């Protein structure tokens, strides 16, 4: 889970200590569509998965990301 | 009326469609709303005034924008999410009489109507000694991301001419419905609105991002016929299942703001080809209102990567260092002539008094070549600019902003800005992130280098070419 939090922080250029569990698409300026695709690319590279279009569009919050990653068999515990 | 809205006043077809509220305005209703708002603004302004506008992609903002033009005022559209500090800087620099949409500082501005504030009379501001040129209608920022205070001064004639050029080049008909997939404070995004109103067509006003399911639902519900994007938009679209997302009505794609990767160009050509649609590659600059050239779809298979041909009533020339035209196939400075060229730049209120300094001739700062068939190809850039996510970043401005770190020289990399620091320590990660954010970039798009000294030219100036090529 901490790994995923770090990926969120890196994708949106956030402070390493910042809370990310409540983040949502367009909730912060950095999570725009470009930031969104940066996050998608980071998740795909790190976990060696390929998200389909529906999942890319549904990945609207940290919680949603966890649910989607589980679907792809990623251990998020 | 502006953009021929009065002539289209009888048309019952929609002009503005707003999915978020479910409202729609016909051309006649829009004409009526603009007339009323223009009257209000004229009463408030009492003479030629500057209106600073938070240009959200919604009906109210569009009505105020059109009304300001109709009332003969000058309007300066800005991104609605502009932070307070940047807004305060721009207010101090340009001293608008009217602020629309933003929460203006209460000390200097008083409420004067729905979402409108008027400058209160006070010793700090006196508009009488800072006149605005009668022809000035639109002030556009030269760069979206650095929030540059430098603007492009445009006449209403130029704005309308460019709208007509685009209508003609893209054959925009009454039935077209274009979504606002780019910000209206950005010249290219604004040209979508202007050209569709000019054509008597409709604009779907949405603020949703490209990765929002609501955007694609709106495009389906409202029968969008076209999509406008910069390379970054299309890079994103190509990653998604475009066939599944785009409604069957969507058959026209328009791309400008830099060269598209060949793989994406092919993918999009196949996409429009399968549905009998068209892909228009365009070339433009804010200095020419928005657009200067179009590559007609029938040329695209033979000229992938080209910038296109001059728009109707425009002319593109490639000239040498002295401004003399060069023959076909020679590389030189790209010069554009046309009715849509700016009056000149503005950097503060005092500049708004200036008239036309260019006479319809624009040195684009780009380097390129015209082939034997008259098609323009861009080969490089003469001005110190980087292009990232389709937005231009002025490297000299970045250098000024970075001066606090020490002796710096800034160059453009591949989708990056490179900052060379001399005799200083690398700033910490927090500082690097903050600086990237200030430029509207991700920290990975800023490359920092530490140097012992800067390479210099024979004339003792910073050798940017050597820096850009350096290790």
Total number of residues shown for chain B: 471
Domain assignment present for A34: yes
Domain span at residue A67 reads 2-71
Sheet with B278-283: list strands edge to edge: B226-229, B252-255, B278-283, B293-295, B309-310
| A25 lies within 8 A of chain B by CB | yes
Nearest to B207 by CA among B390, B52, B13, B62: B62
> Does residue A65 lie within any of the structural domains?
yes
Inspect the interface and report whether the beta carbons of B210 and A33 lie closer than 8 Å: yes
> For residue A18, is it within any domain?
yes
pLDDT at position A64: 96
Q: Is residue A76 part of a domain?
A: no
SS3 of residue B62 by DSSP: helix
Q: Do B143 and B391 contact (CB within 8 A), yes or no? A: yes
Domain assignment present for residue A45? The answer is: yes
Task: Give contacts of B388 with chain A, Cβ < 8 Å.
Answer: none
A33 touches B at CB < 8 Å? yes
Candidates B236, B241, B430; nearest CB to A37: B236
- Three-state DSSP class for B17? strand
Phi, psi of B97 (to 5 degrees): -75, -30
Residue A8 belongs to domain with CATH number = 1.10.1200.10
Give me the phi and psi of B201, to 5 degrees please: -95, -170
Domain count along chain A: 1
Sheet architecture: strand order including B98-100: B109-113, B116-119, B98-100, B50-54, B74-78, B136-141, B151-155, B344-346
- Cα–Cα distance, A38 to A44 (Å, whole number): 10
Cβ–Cβ < 8 Å for B77, B68: no
Beta carbons of B346 and B132 less than 8 angstroms apart: no
In-domain check, residue A37: yes
Residue A27 contacts B where some CB pair is shorter than 8 Å? no
Per-residue confidence of chain B (471 residues) as pLDDT tens digits?
Answer: 999 987 865 667 899 999 999 999 999 999 999 999 999 999 999 899 999 999 999 999 999 999 999 999 999 999 998 888 889 989 999 999 999 998 777 778 888 888 899 988 654 555 555 899 999 999 999 865 555 689 999 999 999 999 999 999 999 999 999 999 999 999 999 999 999 999 999 999 999 999 999 999 999 999 999 999 998 899 899 999 999 999 999 999 999 988 888 999 999 999 999 999 999 999 999 999 999 999 999 999 999 999 999 999 999 999 999 999 999 999 999 999 999 999 999 999 999 999 999 999 999 999 999 999 999 999 887 778 888 876 778 888 888 888 888 889 999 888 889 999 998 889 999 999 999 988 888 999 999 999 988 888 887 788 888 888 765
pTM to 2 decimal places: 0.89
Contact B169, B143 (CB under 8 A): no
Question: What does each C-alpha distance from B102 to B87, B106, B109, B179, B435 come to in angstroms?
Answer: 9, 11, 11, 24, 25
Six-digit token string for B20? 């978020």
Token representation of residue B418 = 């490179």
- The residue that leads in pLDDT, A34 or B140, is B140
A interface test, pick of B57, B186, B209, B211 with most A CB neighbours within 10 Å: B211
Q: What are phi and psi of B76, to 5 degrees?
A: -120, 100
Q: What's the pLDDT score for residue B61? A: 98
So what's the ipTM on this one?
0.86
The residue in chain A having the minimum alpha-carbon distance to the alpha carbon of residue B429 is A15
CB of A6 less than 8 A from some CB of B: no
Domains of chain B (ranges plus CATH)? 2-377 (3.40.50.12780), 385-469 (3.30.300.30)
> What was the pLDDT predicted at B9?
57
What number of other Cβ atoms are within 10 A of residue B153's Cβ?
27
Nearest to A13 among B210, B236, B437 (CB): B437
Given an 8 Å threshold on Cβ–Cβ distance, is B209 in contact with A56? no
| Distance, CA of B267 to chain centre | 26
Q: Cβ A57–B216 below 8 Å, yes or no?
A: yes
Strands of the sheet containing B315-319, edge to edge, are B315-319, B332-337, B361-370, B376-381
Assigned domain for A7 exists? yes
Closest alpha carbon within chain A to B433? A13
Please report residues of A whose CB lies closer than 8 A to that of B80: none
Q: With an 8 Å Cβ cutoff, are B209 and A30 in contact?
A: no
B206: which DSSP letter? Answer: -
A77 in any annotated domain: no
Question: What is the distance between the alpha carbons of residues B232 and B182, in angstroms, rounded to a whole number?
Answer: 11
What is the predicted pLDDT for the residue at B208? 94
Interchain contact A49–B (C-beta under 8 A): no
Q: Do B241 and A53 touch (CB under 8 A)?
A: yes
């Amino acid at each position: 889970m901490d790994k995923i939090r770090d990926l969120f922080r890196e994708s949106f250029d956030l402070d390493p200590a910042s809370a990310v569990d409540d983040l949502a698409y367009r909730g912060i300026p950095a999570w725009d569509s470009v930031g969104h695709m940066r996050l998608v690319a980071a998740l795909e590279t790190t976990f060696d998965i390929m998200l389909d279009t529906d999942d890319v569009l549904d990945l609207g919050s940290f919680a949603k990301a966890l649910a989607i990653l589980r679907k792809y068999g990623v251990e998020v515990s | 009326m502006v953009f021929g809205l009065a002539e289209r006043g009888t048309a019952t077809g929609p002009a503005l469609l707003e999915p978020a509220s479910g409202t729609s305005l016909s051309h006649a209703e829009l004409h009526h709303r603009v007339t009323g708002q223009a009257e209000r603004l004229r009463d408030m302004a009492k003479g030629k005034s500057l209106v600073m506008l938070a240009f959200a992609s919604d009906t109210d903002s569009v009505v105020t924008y059109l009304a300001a033009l109709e009332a003969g005022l000058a309007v300066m559209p800005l991104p609605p999410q502009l932070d307070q500090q940047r807004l305060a800087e721009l207010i101090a620099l340009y001293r608008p009489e009217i602020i629309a949409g933003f929460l203006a500082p209460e000390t200097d501005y008083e409420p004067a109507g729905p979402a409108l504030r008027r400058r209160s009379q006070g010793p700090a501001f006196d508009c009488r000694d800072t006149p605005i040129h009668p022809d000035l209608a639109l002030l556009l920022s030269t760069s979206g991301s650095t929030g540059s205070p430098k603007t492009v001064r445009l006449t209403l004639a130029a704005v309308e001419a460019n709208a007509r050029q685009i209508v003609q080049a893209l054959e925009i008909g009454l039935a077209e419905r274009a979504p606002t997939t780019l910000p209206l404070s950005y010249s290219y995004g604004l040209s979508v609105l202007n050209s569709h109103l000019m054509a008597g067509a409709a604009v779907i006003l949405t603020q949703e991002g490209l990765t929002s399911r609501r955007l694609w639902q709106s495009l389906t519900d409202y029968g969008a016929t076209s999509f406008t994007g910069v390379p970054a938009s299309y890079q994103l679209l190509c990653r998604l299942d475009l066939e599944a997302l785009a409604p069957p009505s969507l058959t026209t794609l328009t791309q400008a703001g830099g060269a598209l990767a060949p793989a994406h160009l092919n993918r999009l050509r196949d996409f429009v080809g399968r549905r009998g649609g068209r892909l228009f590659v365009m070339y433009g600059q804010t200095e020419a209102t928005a657009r200067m050239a179009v590559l007609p779809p029938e040329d695209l298979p033979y000229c992938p990567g080209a910038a296109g041909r001059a728009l109707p009533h425009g002319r593109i020339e490639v000239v040498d260092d002295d401004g003399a035209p060069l023959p076909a196939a020679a590389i030189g400075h790209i010069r554009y002539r046309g009715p849509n060229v700016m009056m000149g730049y503005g950097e503060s209120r005092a500049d708004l008094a200036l008239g036309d300094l260019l006479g319809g001739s624009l040195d684009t700062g780009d380097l390129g070549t015209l082939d034997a068939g008259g098609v323009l190809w861009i080969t490089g850039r003469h001005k110190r600019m980087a292009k990232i996510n389709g937005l231009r970043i002025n490297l000299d401005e970045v250098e000024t902003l970075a001066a606090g770190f020490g002796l710096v020289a800034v160059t453009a990399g591949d989708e990056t800005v490179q900052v060379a620091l001399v005799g200083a320590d690398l700033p910490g990660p927090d500082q690097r992130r903050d600086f990237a954010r200030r430029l509207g970039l991700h920290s990975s798009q800023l490359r920092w280098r530490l140097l012992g000294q800067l390479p210099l030219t024979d004339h003792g100036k910073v050798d940017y070419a050597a820096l850009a090529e350096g290790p």
